[in-house]
Amino acid sequence: MRYVESRKNLSGSALGLVGLVLTFTGVAGAYWPLVVAGLYGVGALIAPPERPAPPDFPDPSAQLGELRADFEKLRGYLADVELPPAASGRLTELTELLAALLDPGWAAEVLAQDPEGVHMLSRAVRQDVPEAVDTFVRTRWWSRLAPGQEPPERHLERQLGLLHDEAARLAAAVRETEARRQETHTRYLEDRSQ
Predicted local confidence at residue 146, as pLDDT: 64
pLDDT, tens digit, for every residue of 32-42? 899 899 999 99
Tell whether the model's pLDDT for residue 52 goes beyond 80. no
Residue 103: domain span = 60-193
Q: Same domain for 28 and 100?
A: no
119-146 b/e with 16+ CB inside 10 Å = b?
Answer: ebbbebbbebbbebbeebeeebeebeee
Residue 52 lies in a domain: no
Whole-prediction pTM: 0.66
Band of the pLDDT at 98, cuts 50, 70, 90?
very high
Smallest Cα–Cα separation from 84: which of 140, 124, 131?
Answer: 140
Pair 145, 171 in one domain = yes
Answer for the pair 50, 6: CB distance below 8 angstroms, yes or no.
Answer: yes
Q: What is the pLDDT of residues 149-160, one digit of tens each?
A: 777 888 999 999
Same domain, 118 and 161: yes
